[in-house]
Structure 1
Amino acid sequence: MRILAAGDHFVLDTLIGDALEAAVTASPFELTGLTLPWPLGPFGGVAEADEAGDCEDALIEALRDVEVCVTRMAPFTERVLDASPALRLVVVCRGGGPDNVDVEAARARGVRVCFAPDRDAAAAAEFTVAMMLAAMRRIPEAHDSLARRGVWGGSYSTYEGCGFELEDTRVGLVGYGAVGSRVARVLSAFGAEVEVYDPYVRGDVHGVRVASLDTLLSRSRVVTLHARLTDETRGLIGARELGLLPDSSVLVNVARGPLVDTGALCDALESGRLAAAALDTYEQEPLPAGARLRGVPGVVMTPRLGGASRQVAEKAARTAAAEVARYAAGAPLAHCLT
């Protein structure tokens, strides 16, 4: 069995290789490696793949006679699949799904496609709370004042200029999946009043379940988004929804950029309707140099770091290797879409 570890600068091909060596014992295999440029190089739409590295030619060459590929960003388009007749399994080291794979085209060619669900849930939850605290307590602004401009910045300690605590603050969560549920538990430990809106989740939640998004927004000093991006949720938070928030609220989005209407968010920040926003993801990525968001007050921005930790990369490699081991042993695959 020939396996290609098409890693990158986050999920290293060496991490994938080490995990495969430890997990795949039922069948001998020949391993080759390919390092893709992400995240040091751009990614985006490649043919019909939504989020992938633009490296079809290099991938086709590396896939010659390969039966199994483990990757994160390699573009498995119709063109690549057509050029790889020996391919039978693609395992994608991503938690939200294989956005770099044309799943229907793979199914039509007899290629199984697997992914690594929830591998970054803990990292994203921790990062969400960190961003929330940074925005609420104005930490980046105060750091910039002192470290960059040399100004002690006493105004950050005035009543009007200081932030507010999580304890006894009502925080609304939109979405209660693997990340949202972890965020809810952490916020409860801080003493926040947690409310949850998720029409697709049944059973108990950490906090109070509310029946509608409008109710959640109108009652929450802080709102954090954890919904999946679908046709239904695209533009979920627009001008009308932002207008429902209490004055001086905070919006946190470490989920998907298109959940929020960026123009409406900028309007709300510029008008003072929102006190702050903490964003790790954007409608357009990478964020353009001239993006309006760069000039509005009260924004904490990071370049999609929510799921980036060393543990995530290591777990992704192990999860993918375990799937390859099941395939090699002829066992049912655990996280397969085709």
Structure 2
Amino acid sequence: MGKITVLGDFEKVFPSSPKVRELEQKGYTFDYAEPRSDSDTVEALKNADIAILVRERAKMPRHVIEQLPNLQMISQTGSGTAHLDKGALEENNIKLTLTGGTSAPSVVELTFGMIIGCMRQFTVHRNHLMQEQWKQIPGFELQHKRIGLIGYGEISREIAKVAQAFQMEPVTWRPTGEKGDEEIPVLELDELLATSDIVSIHVRLVPELKNVLNREKLFKMKKGSVLINTARGALIDNQALIELLESGHLLGAGIDTYPEEPLTENPFKNCPNVILTPHIGYITWEVLQRFADISLENIIGNLPTLSKQ
């Protein structure tokens, strides 16, 4: 009946989902590909009726979409769509579904791992020990510290709950979304930056928020504070952040996302007080399995509406 191609399933999670068997019983066949370029994506999808995209591992700009006349549907894992030309999808009558924010628990846990690692200077201590130097540098407790959350979606709400369990004071700046239902104080961005011991970013990369923490804003951060970015790399000015880390104005930073991925040249190589991870906020086996199951359920639920059989 049709062909489904999964792009970017590096961890090989999809084949084990029972939803694959359900779709195979309906007559669909599955292919898997790991494209590294736009031309790879076109080649992988040229005969596909449905594409499943694992996060932003494969981009779908207009010139790619227009070379895929058979494509009827994209089942996207996660809720980010910055890598998709949604206008081109609509013009070509390609349906788009999302799995939503199924990765919140994993991102919350990584965020707090980075916070604790920065406040207790894990990387600095590791570097000393690797050089056979025994140096005990005092760190800071989390209790009674203010954590400023940029954005107030599902992830920020969960972080606020965990922060309160640590006896921290969560506050937020909320640039988008419905306002008025906040359970924590809402501040202007400048006040949040100037008064927070930890600033953690949790907003989507939309045009109006690109470089939201530019040089001017970053230099307003409280001396001795920590910045955590598990959202998107293009939200901050990395060069300004590096200057603040190297000068000691910031105690540390935890960075999981970068303006260009994969990261090929490390701009933080001279910053011993930074924790770097390769965009793993959502990468746990539990999240990947939820992505697989829900994206396949989205396909099953939309089969009656697909017209190009």
Is the TM value for this pair above 0.5?
Answer: yes
Q: 1:93 aligns with which of 77, 86, 91?
A: 77
Aligned residue number for residue 335 of structure 1:
none
Contact 2:5–2:44 (CA under 8 A) maintained in structure 1:
no
Match status 1:238 vs 2:220? no
Q: Deviations over 1:95-136 (max 9, x none)?
A: 323x44332222112111112210212211111111111111
Match status 1:298 vs 2:273? yes
Aligned residue number for residue 71 of structure 1:
53
The aligned runs of 1:151-162 (5 Å cut-off) are 151-153=133-135, 155-156=136-137, 162=138
Match status 1:150 vs 2:126? no
Tell me the TM-score normalised to structure 2 length: 0.88
Aligned residue number for residue 336 of structure 1:
none
Q: Say if 1:81 and 1:235 are closer, same or farther in 2 by CA, change over 3 A.
A: closer
Q: Say if 1:77 and 1:223 are closer, same or farther in 2 by CA, change over 3 A.
A: closer
Divergent runs of 4+, >6 A? none
* Count of aligned pairs: 302
Q: Say if 1:208 and 1:21 are closer, same or farther in 2 by CA, change over 3 A.
A: same
Q: Say if 1:298 and 1:36 are closer, same or farther in 2 by CA, change over 3 A.
A: same
Q: 1:131 aligns with which of 105, 114, 133?
A: 114
Match status 1:208 vs 2:208? no
- The answer to which of 216-225 and 5-14 deviates more is 5-14
Aligned residue number for residue 173 of structure 1:
149
The aligned runs of 1:180-329 (5 Å cut-off) are 180-200=156-176, 201-210=178-187, 212-289=188-265, 291-329=266-304
In 2: Cα distance, 1:77 partner to 1:242 partner: 32
Tell me the TM-score normalised to structure 1 length: 0.81
The alpha-carbon deviation at position 281 of structure 1 amounts to: 1.1
Contact 1:249–1:276 (CA under 8 A) maintained in structure 2:
yes
Aligned residue number for residue 159 of structure 1:
none
- The answer to which of 28-37 and 242-251 deviates more is 28-37
Quick one: which amino acid aligns to residue 126 of structure 1? E
Q: Deviations over 1:152-197 (max 9, x none)?
A: 32x32xxxxx111111101111101121111111111111011111
Contact 2:148–2:170 (CA under 8 A) maintained in structure 1:
yes
Three-state SS of the structure 2 residue aligned to 1:196 is strand
Contact 2:118–2:254 (CA under 8 A) maintained in structure 1:
yes
Contact 2:98–2:295 (CA under 8 A) maintained in structure 1:
yes
Quick one: which amino acid aligns to residue 290 of structure 2? K
In 2: Cα distance, 1:191 partner to 1:321 partner: 41
The alpha-carbon deviation at position 83 of structure 1 amounts to: 4.1
Instruction: Provide the alpha-carbon RMSD of the alignment.
Output: 2.4
Aligned residue number for residue 104 of structure 1:
87
Aligned residue number for residue 2 of structure 2:
2
Q: Say if 1:100 and 1:171 are closer, same or farther in 2 by CA, change over 3 A.
A: closer
Unaligned ranges ≥5, structure 1? 47-53, 157-161, 332-338
